[in-house]
Structure 1
Amino acid sequence: MKVSAIFLFLGLLFFGSIFVSEARVRHATFVVQETSYTRLCSTKKILTVNGDFPGPTLYAETGDTLIVDVQNKGNLNITIHWHGVKQPRNPWTDGPEFITQCPIKPGGRFSQKVILSDEEGTLWWHAHSDWSRATVYGAIVIRPKKGTTYPFPKPDGEVPIILGDWWKSDIEEVLQEFLRTGGDPNSSDALTINGQPGDLYPCSKQDTFKLVVDYGKTYLLRMINAGMNNIFFFGITNHTFTIVGHDAAYAKPFESDYITIPPGQTLDVLLKANQPPNQYYMAAKVFVGGGAAIFDNTTTTAILEYRGNYTAPSPLPLPILPNITNSTASQSFSGSLRSLASAAHPIDVPLEISQKFLFTVSMNSVPCNNTVDCTSRNNVRFKASINNITFQAPKIDILEAYYRGINGVFGDDFPRNPPLEFNYTGNISAALRTPRNGTEVRVLPFNSTVELVYQGTNLLRGIEHPMHLHGYSFYVVGWGLGNFNKDEDPKNYNLVDPPLMNTISVPRNGWTAIRFRADNPGVWLMHCHFERHITWGMEMTFIVRNGKRSDQKILSRPSDMPPC
């Protein structure tokens, strides 16, 4: 099936978009199914939603509720997560497998209520079971409710730009080999823009995504990194972006000729079509920061095409993007993000903190027990951990166990600080690399104020970690390189206009500090959004207790929750 090369004006449909009515409750149906797709000169079956890759875009307005009937007609268990949607008091339909639900089995269905609150901008949805999100994903566009508008001039058009990956092999085979060997997974065979690899790859010229624009008009690009294991640099030849939003919150506008976007993160950027009418490459490539062993060192392209009569150059020049190991460029872009912090869009950074945490995010290794597949890898297999605990998935979901008071499913003693203090980013003894398995949670009192410092380590190798928290957005109040200094570093926190995010990349061998108020009761997953890292166990769960009032308690359990 071919994804059409089209461009969007406000109100038009994109990727089979679903925009049912002007009512505050909107309905959609997601049918998960196998579909044949051709990429890189070969055809294979992939899991899709409604036969589309990427899947349908959901349109809503701030404060709406979406009812999405998910029907699994595929051959694998599936769950769907609404990435960045806070789901107030409603963890039941958040989506992560064995955290808030058991998976929807083939032939099953689950009606998911997606409750929007103050989110405004671009979010996305994706599978949250095994590696199905390689092809099961799509955009969520949340526009201002009627009577309000964007805090910038209304654009002439808007379009989701979703960055991703493509494997020639079946993604389930890639996952099973990855689990069997204990090493790094095979890297993707191509990167993609809106599902297409671009004309630098074989057999892809005719399907390259094309965005058609009119000279002098301004377009809102809704950027999403749906990639499995890669941070991306993205740019358009001879064009500059104005960044106006991040993770469905508005930003202080700033200009850049490239963006850096980690997996899971979204950005809203304005593009002014102000260059001589012609064709221009849109391009994305990987940023690895020096820490990745295996990665896709290719460039994916799409075409920005002005309307008019002209002869396009051949070949088209590529945009000038930072080098793949340019940490300074990545950190400079991310460090420029600031909340708009206006009267119409105020911020509320917690100033008095009642709960402080330091979480090490680490790569680890464990003995292979001399299995054949691991012998060539020094008889070790990779793991990952938070505070030296590798997450062990339970057999029933944590939310169900918590709600029903079922004992033995999880512990409530996730450490507030690393169990062992050491030079986290220095030369580290191999003896520190072995984590312990556990299904531990950290319980937070309702309305407590939280400061959490993610501390990257050099245990096995230093690498960036895009950390995502379900059920919340958080303020990124500080970051730095090396070890966090609890006495000195907070003096430099930004408490005036820190960016409000749901996914933030912790710098390689560095730290990032976030703050949020625990006012959303429920069971909420936190994890690295590199898929290999979450598979290796870099995740943990917060349980936020109910408040005293009825409107501060978890909503009732839906009757159609998938069985375990």
Structure 2
Amino acid sequence: MRNVVVEVLLLISMVLLELSNAFAPSVSYEWVVSYSQRSVLGANKQIIVINDMFPGPILSATAGDIVNVNIFNHLTEPFLMTWNGLQMRKNSWQDGVRGTNCPILPGTNWTYRFQIKDQIGSYFYFPTLLLQKAAGGYGSIRVYSPELVQVPFPHPDGEFDILIGDWFYTDHRVMRASLDNGLSLATPDGILINGRGPEETFFAFQPGKTYRLRISNVGLKTSLNFRIQDHDMLLVETEGSYVQKHTYSSLDIHVGQSYSVLVTAKTDPVGIYRSYYIFASARFTNFYLSGIALIRYPNSPLDPVGPVPAAPEPWDYASSVQQALSIREDLDVGAARPNPQGSYHYGRVNVTRTLIFQNDVMTSSNKLRYTVNGVSFVFPETPLKLVDHFQLKNTIVPDMFPTYPSNKTPSFGTSVVDIRYKDFVHIVFENPLDELQSWHIDGYNFFVVGMGFGGWSESKRAGYNLVDAVSRSTIQVYPYSWVAILIAMDNQGMWNVRSQKAEQWYLGQELYLRVKGDGQEDPSNIPVQDECPIPENFIRCGRILQ
């Protein structure tokens, strides 16, 4: 009897969902993904373009919109696209990672369809398979507030999307083969700003105008410091959260992170203007690389003059941590809804579970691999989302993955953590290594409540920020450090948790959160009734064949 009731409720929810979607505005895109031979940083390389553009076109939508993106794969390899930071409310079918989707095969197309709910902000998209991100295929995402929701700063006079990231001359297939052979990625060959080398990108400023810069680090491995010559930046938003407004002369932007800043153009009483440098330089590395773009005013000389904005001390982690802790939620404003962001008092919610994820390194047959809690992720032949939906056996092993660091010998496994829907979870990311880490959780934003050097212990909870911690989807963990987050598991589905650093992700540093069920039900034993129904156009592969 209970199963009948569940099925009826599921049917009703599906009908209501379809009715609400029927009246929602929609935006549609048609993207052709193909190769193109281009000169980047002075070297010819086969890159991945979208509609012959590198970076790809801006995906622009308003909260509440239904987004349709029809992707035609003209590559010689399978392809998937993910939407870094978009929450895909109750629709992990559209997540575009290997654990949720079968790939779009060469010569075919597939349409992503999802609704952007209760979310605004600056994000980016990128390819997730076969290290293709090293060849491009990425672009910016803008999500605007609905008309009835006031933006907590004056409407800017213009907007610019700025994609910064490290770049390699080597073909992505050669880089992939190097990783497959157990070798680490080499030093990057340069830093790109909007897909171009030094001083090849410029932004036109008008005197006295205010511009919103949406900046994302789309690189593979390198944290970057972003700064503008003789211009301050007013930070207003990060990954969908409006933040307390502070002025910065430079910002550390780690792999996978996005920020919005306001920059006010200069005025001169006699109308004499010059050009200015924009810098994105490598941070916390043994090498120095920088990407350079230009701000140009009307009739200004092409070449900037004056002192170049100084880079921070290369290994000054303390100041970077201080800056990270200074970025806090603006509790008095709304984002996608009129109610203020501070109306959700996360610090008063009882934590139902604590998970500790520790990144590390292992070797197997003299080949480099990366782990989370001693497990290096391996993919089954069928995406986990399809395994779960069709209740396939012998793929997801309950309790295989330890949710705390252990002293067991490192191993391979398909790591899935079962989470009950609506649990409120405390996650600690521990980094015992000498290299900065960057973590991302698909489908969610989380509150960054604690950060510190050394190991984490229960005593650290006393110092948590339980009032105005920033909410975001990607967080850096400094060497020999920890970060604590709180996350409301209110988005049912199969969600990817990964290192945003391409080498670590490719070589096993990820896991999946299976969020479903309610009350005391065990998510591993109930039928799939999460989110939207399986798409009619879903792609079959592995054990789910045509």
- Shorter-chain-normalised TM-score: which range? 0.7 to 0.9
Note if 1:498 corresponds to 2:469.
yes
Q: Please tell me the residue identity of whatever aligns with 2:468.
A: D
CA distance in 2, matches of 1:518, 1:23: 25
Give, in angstroms, the shift of residue 192 of structure 1: 0.3
Match of 2:533 in 1: 556
Give secondary structure in 2 for the equivalent of 1:401. Answer: helix
Give secondary structure in 2 for the equivalent of 1:329. Answer: helix
Match of 1:268 in 2: 260
Note if 1:416 corresponds to 2:403.
yes
CA distance in 2, matches of 1:311, 1:170: 37
Match of 1:302 in 2: 293
Q: Is the 8 A contact 1:191 1:296 kept in 2?
A: no
Give, in angstroms, the shift of residue 383 of structure 1: 1.7
Give, in angstroms, the shift of residue 313 of structure 1: 5.5
Q: Is the 8 A contact 1:192 1:198 kept in 2?
A: yes
Match of 1:356 in 2: 354
CA distance in 2, matches of 1:66, 1:52: 20
Q: Please tell me the residue identity of whatever aligns with 1:51.
A: D
CA distance in 1, matches of 2:352, 2:302: 60
Q: Please tell me the residue identity of whatever aligns with 1:418.
A: P
Q: Please tell me the residue identity of whatever aligns with 2:244.
A: K
CA distance in 2, matches of 1:389, 1:87: 27
Note if 1:328 corresponds to 2:328.
no
After superposition, give the CA deviation of every residue in 1:252-299 in whole Å (9 maximum; x if it has no partner): 1111100011111100111111366211110111112xxx6xx76311
Cα gap change, 1:403/1:234 in structure 2, threshold over 3 Å: closer, same or farther?
same
Matches for 1:5-84 after TM superposition, within 5 Å = 24-84=25-85
Match of 1:94 in 2: 95
Q: 2:363 aligns with which of 358, 361, 366?
A: 366
Give secondary structure in 2 for the equivalent of 1:356. Answer: strand
- Percent identity, aligned pairs only? 26
Q: Please tell me the residue identity of whatever aligns with 1:346.
A: Q
Give, in angstroms, the shift of residue 552 of structure 1: 7.5
Give, in angstroms, the shift of residue 31 of structure 1: 1.1
Give secondary structure in 2 for the equivalent of 1:533. Answer: helix
CA distance in 2, matches of 1:532, 1:307: 43
Match of 1:112 in 2: 112
Match of 1:372 in 2: none
Match of 1:543 in 2: 514
Q: Please tell me the residue identity of whatever aligns with 1:467.
A: W
CA distance in 1, matches of 2:51, 2:247: 37
Give secondary structure in 1 for the equivalent of 2:341. Answer: coil
Matches for 1:44-193 after TM superposition, within 5 Å = 44-97=45-98, 99-134=99-134, 135-180=136-181, 182-193=182-193
TM-score (norm 2): 0.87
After superposition, give the CA deviation of every residue in 1:321-343 in whole Å (9 maximum; x if it has no partner): 21332212321221111011115
CA distance in 1, matches of 2:142, 2:528: 27
Cα gap change, 1:281/1:61 in structure 2, threshold over 3 Å: closer, same or farther?
same
Cα gap change, 1:443/1:325 in structure 2, threshold over 3 Å: closer, same or farther?
same
Q: Please tell me the residue identity of whatever aligns with 1:398.
A: L
Which runs of no fewer than 5 residues in structure 1 stay unpaired? 1-21, 200-207, 369-379, 421-431
Give secondary structure in 1 for the equivalent of 2:322. Answer: helix
CA distance in 1, matches of 2:198, 2:267: 22
TM-score (norm 1): 0.85
Note if 1:454 corresponds to 2:444.
no
Q: Matched residue pairs, number?
A: 499
Give secondary structure in 2 for the equivalent of 1:478. Answer: strand
CA distance in 2, matches of 1:170, 1:240: 37
Q: Is the 8 A contact 2:157 2:209 kept in 1?
A: yes
Give secondary structure in 1 for the equivalent of 2:462. Answer: helix
Give, in angstroms, the shift of residue 547 of structure 1: 4.5
CA distance in 1, matches of 2:205, 2:177: 43
CA distance in 1, matches of 2:528, 2:402: 30
Q: Is the 8 A contact 1:175 1:185 kept in 2?
A: no
Match of 2:219 in 1: 227
Q: Please tell me the residue identity of whatever aligns with 2:77.
A: L
Q: Please tell me the residue identity of whatever aligns with 1:557.
A: I
Q: 2:275 aligns with which of 275, 279, 282?
A: 279
CA distance in 1, matches of 2:367, 2:283: 25
Q: Please tell me the residue identity of whatever aligns with 2:537.
A: D
Q: 1:238 aligns with which of 230, 237, 262?
A: 230
Match of 1:519 in 2: 490
CA distance in 1, matches of 2:517, 2:507: 31
CA distance in 2, matches of 1:285, 1:353: 39
Q: Is the 8 A contact 1:68 1:114 kept in 2?
A: no
Note if 1:441 corresponds to 2:432.
no
Q: 2:448 aligns with which of 476, 483, 490?
A: 476
CA distance in 2, matches of 1:92, 1:312: 48
CA distance in 2, matches of 1:523, 1:178: 27
Q: Please tell me the residue identity of whatever aligns with 1:516.
A: I
Give secondary structure in 1 for the equivalent of 2:204. Answer: strand
Give, in angstroms, the shift of residue 115 of structure 1: 1.9
Give secondary structure in 2 for the equivalent of 1:399. Answer: helix
Note if 1:337 corresponds to 2:327.
yes
Give, in angstroms, the shift of residue 311 of structure 1: 4.3
Give, in angstroms, the shift of residue 559 of structure 1: 2.2
CA distance in 2, matches of 1:520, 1:365: 33
Q: Please tell me the residue identity of whatever aligns with 2:329.
A: S
Q: Please tell me the residue identity of whatever aligns with 1:169.
A: T
CA distance in 2, matches of 1:139, 1:259: 19
Q: Is the 8 A contact 1:62 1:144 kept in 2?
A: yes
Cα gap change, 1:115/1:557 in structure 2, threshold over 3 Å: closer, same or farther?
same
Q: Is the 8 A contact 2:24 2:64 kept in 1?
A: no
Q: Is the 8 A contact 1:27 1:67 kept in 2?
A: yes
Match of 1:202 in 2: none
Q: Is the 8 A contact 1:225 1:265 kept in 2?
A: yes
Give, in angstroms, the shift of residue 151 of structure 1: 0.5
After superposition, give the CA deviation of every residue in 1:195-254 in whole Å (9 maximum; x if it has no partner): 11114xxxxxxxx10001012111100011101111110101111111011112111111
Cα gap change, 1:313/1:110 in structure 2, threshold over 3 Å: closer, same or farther?
closer
